[in-house]
Structure 1
């Protein structure tokens, strides 16, 4: 489905982004709060092939999309330059059921994804400017060079400020407080203090964390670091500040929170960042560098495998800057370095994988991000490729690490040495040209880069196809792959229907048992035209008399909404079932609901799925009428109710044939 065009049409027909106060989404609907609903074009929206219908209720302008609403929502935000509002969106993914790896990737991607376009642009400008100097087209003393390089390098120099904005959103910190913390870290006078020759004392003498003290704070020694272009210190600082802010809001009277909460948050966080958080993050980087120097002396091949394989992880955490200090120390002591150079091939491993994804993807948005990421990677700037392309596709990221390790081995085998700092990507070649001119080390460098690139491309093409697009995760062949695809892909209908049409005999009757005890109602009796009109599919509704929802058939859980008010199932017989507990109960934000299953979980008929508090829902003013919808009704000749009146859990309810 062309989500980009659909998003543009919706934006236009709701009156433009200027008419949008906020937008969130639930199981099937985009829920807008519009400044003026009369500016919305109801008829145009209803006529759109990607829109089921339009509903106006509860002060919201609801555009019904279907179960792939999350993808339309993400595209809508991107197309309109909007930010999602409300807890319905912020908690859409049920993070309580996410693995630590998934949480980590969610955090990293959430922080870096919003500025990927600008990051890629800055990387391209920086790389092209350096290329122009290398080719003799520009002089570093020219004004043209100074301005162009400022455009490219300025973004990276002030990266802590940019990251502070996105990290603030992830950690629920006031964004202006976050900017204030980051600005203090890169404040020119602070940077100047770090370079001062006035040393008050030296801490940790004789260790790798030996530090000169230039200033104190309330007589506490402050270990000054250079925080420009760093990543981890500001993320940790924003995380810490979010907890300080939360505590401050609890302790400070509401009438003076406007200025006293920022006051105390900044006053506490910034000194602790300079005294504790920043130095610890920087020492972690230095310790990692020292470890790899020891490893290289022990086994160059082992060091190459580890350095090449994990360099992108170091970049992701920002600890790769510690290797720069090791590099210069080695140059000063012996005139060359062999550690830092091992990371050069990684750029080409990364863009090899990105090129493979460009060949394999069917998603125009992915391709549009991949092209600038590929270009900036050529010039040695791999962050856009990591955060925008490979990291969100975990398997592709792992494949790029493997390819980087393979390429790094060439450096170790050739005993390649770096004699100067030139840059990354295609600008790495001058690093290996020493006072004796071109020799075998240059050829080994070429070999490493070619091997890395080819390895990345080949690994992605062979092993990474199923990680490129959600559509690629649909398994081939066996009927049980339908449920697996539904658990892995957010858009369950588009993928599962295709497999089911190939494997399921829809002429064979399928029965569903009642998931609830209560009174059976026709869909036309439901007080919501989306369900009552049959737009979402055929089925019936139940007015529940008890607060537990059970599985109506054997199958898998395809979708669990975080608020617990709705659940999607894929049965083993090929039916796609949406059960929506109550009307507009998404507004309760999970209060009164307890989800008992997780997405992708196998279920048997009669297994409990959700517990809900009937009295609490009714007391809040919401209907508890629960539609049971067959969302792929078009694949059946008939969807027939075989129960009426009072029904018990487990009693035959619907027949599909």
Structure 2
């Protein structure tokens, strides 16, 4: 009998037994359950199990924080529970039965953008590094950049743009791939569709405003503008959804004997035509409208108010999953304004949550069990992954979460008030400063200090004021 046997038996009992488990899987630190009747799970008793470091429910899944031992624990659990090993995709699909319409829409959006995040983060770091060596006057008494005085750095700067351009200018290729992957359509055709939106044959989206004569395809009775959709989000999503819809429908009505030849042709060609005549222009206008509203709001005389509300409310958005919508807005801002003033506030919110946990480490420094959760949670939070900190510690006590929200709010106001812009989405924690445009790095650094100090100090003050331990259930009531 392993050391996980007894905790696994207890967990199985407290989640309602094998009959209540629809799907179970695990990630790096958590067990993820899709329960047939979530109300049967006894959260209090689950959290009393020695190996369990916290619980929360998100995206239709009941998640139990185990820590780095989760893979070994999971193997013992499924053996004792008599349930099959399942994939994360299976768990996500099963979890949708516990979601309302809005939650399902957000889950679909998350499924599209989540596979793209590693590339976008890498792109953000590359743009940040190129700015450091190419824009900051750090040599010859602050008159020249590294690129201007060194052929090595000039070559490096030029080379890195190869990767940056591939990620951001050709982003629609990744989006159409992700959509077809999500919808179950042919992924290679999704890639081809994306390429038709950014082909070198088309006028670059960034050059449209400065071009007097736009090239076009002449069909005799109609002209179709040859405009590319580099870095555009909504045109790619719309095109990917239309293609997936056509292909999946055609598969059902066309005989298998000829489907391999007929279906790709009848799905791809009409989609490309409609994308360039209808979906692309509409998507571009909608995206521009949304980005204009956000950018105008953040740069207006009331920008501080928008920043305060967003900075305070972003962490609760993470609980609901609504924060996934910001990815599309950030990417649209980047394409319209060559940067985003929204993402810096997200990075500051992550830092604030980590700082609140850091204060809890200090307050509960004699609690060895809690350190097993709080120390890794703080590190991951400062590196941009907030869930272990939020669900494992801050929401468990309540007042650290509030302290972090207040710190995030103040830091966000400073960021927006200083007109901080990021080149792109980056690592959403302390390394996020590398994605900030060079002229705004000092202001962002000040906001980072605020996001560290205020949550830390307020958490200690709240603790001394005996605000008390607030359960997650009560804090949501």
1:65 corresponds to which residue?
Answer: 79
1:190 corresponds to which residue?
Answer: 202
Secondary structure (helix, strand or coil) at the match of 2:201 reads: helix
2:265 corresponds to which residue?
Answer: 263
1:285 corresponds to which residue?
Answer: 287
**Pairing 1:441-480 to 2, within 5 Å after superposition:** 446-454=445-453
- Provide the rounded CA distance (Å) in 1 between the counterparts of 2:185 and 2:191: 10
More strand, by proportion = 1
- Provide the rounded CA distance (Å) in 1 between the counterparts of 2:341 and 2:130: 22
1:321 corresponds to which residue?
Answer: 332
Tell whether the 8 Å contact from 1:411 to 1:448 is kept in structure 2 after alignment: yes
- Cα deviation, 1:442-480, whole Å, max 9, x if unaligned, reads 6x65543433455677899999xxxxxxxxxx969xxxx
2:411 corresponds to which residue?
Answer: 407
- Provide the rounded CA distance (Å) in 2 between the counterparts of 1:304 and 1:123: 22
**Pairing 1:438-517 to 2, within 5 Å after superposition:** 446-454=445-453
Over 3 Å counting, the alpha-carbon distance change for 1:282 and 1:298 in structure 2 is: same
- Provide the rounded CA distance (Å) in 2 between the counterparts of 1:284 and 1:296: 20
- Structure showing greater radius of gyration is 1
- Cα deviation, 1:290-324, whole Å, max 9, x if unaligned, reads 43536854634334336757896664124653476
Over 3 Å counting, the alpha-carbon distance change for 1:130 and 1:416 in structure 2 is: closer
Tell whether the 8 Å contact from 2:377 to 2:386 is kept in structure 1 after alignment: no
Tell whether the 8 Å contact from 1:289 to 1:323 is kept in structure 2 after alignment: no
1:139 to 2:147 alignment:
yes
- Quick one: which of 184, 187, 196 aligns to 1:172? 184
**Pairing 1:547-626 to 2, within 5 Å after superposition:** none
Tell whether the 8 Å contact from 2:311 to 2:405 is kept in structure 1 after alignment: yes
- Provide the rounded CA distance (Å) in 1 between the counterparts of 2:215 and 2:401: 41
**Pairing 1:105-144 to 2, within 5 Å after superposition:** 105-114=106-115, 116-133=117-134, 134=136, 138-139=146-147, 142-144=154-156
- Provide the rounded CA distance (Å) in 2 between the counterparts of 1:254 and 1:199: 49
TM-score, normalisation: structure 1: 0.43
1:148 to 2:160 alignment:
yes
2:237 corresponds to which residue?
Answer: 235
1:299 corresponds to which residue?
Answer: 302
Tell whether the 8 Å contact from 2:217 to 2:223 is kept in structure 1 after alignment: yes
- Provide the rounded CA distance (Å) in 2 between the counterparts of 1:310 and 1:397: 11
Over 3 Å counting, the alpha-carbon distance change for 1:417 and 1:93 in structure 2 is: closer
Q: Which has the higher contact order (CA 8 A, sep 6+)?
A: 2
The Cα of 1:185 is off from its aligned counterpart by 1.3
Give structure 1 stretches of 5+ with no counterpart: 4-24, 31-47, 54-63, 78-83, 201-212, 329-339, 378-384, 434-441, 464-473, 489-657
Over 3 Å counting, the alpha-carbon distance change for 1:454 and 1:232 in structure 2 is: farther
Pairwise CA RMSD: 5.4
- Cα deviation, 1:66-113, whole Å, max 9, x if unaligned, reads 44968x644xx7xxxxxx7xxxx3775142431234323422332333
1:332 corresponds to which residue?
Answer: none
- Provide the rounded CA distance (Å) in 2 between the counterparts of 1:460 and 1:256: 66
Over 3 Å counting, the alpha-carbon distance change for 1:281 and 1:182 in structure 2 is: same
- Provide the rounded CA distance (Å) in 2 between the counterparts of 1:49 and 1:181: 43
- Provide the rounded CA distance (Å) in 2 between the counterparts of 1:155 and 1:287: 24
More helix, by proportion = 2
- Cα deviation, 1:169-205, whole Å, max 9, x if unaligned, reads 22111111111111111212224487367646xxxxx
- Provide the rounded CA distance (Å) in 2 between the counterparts of 1:118 and 1:323: 15
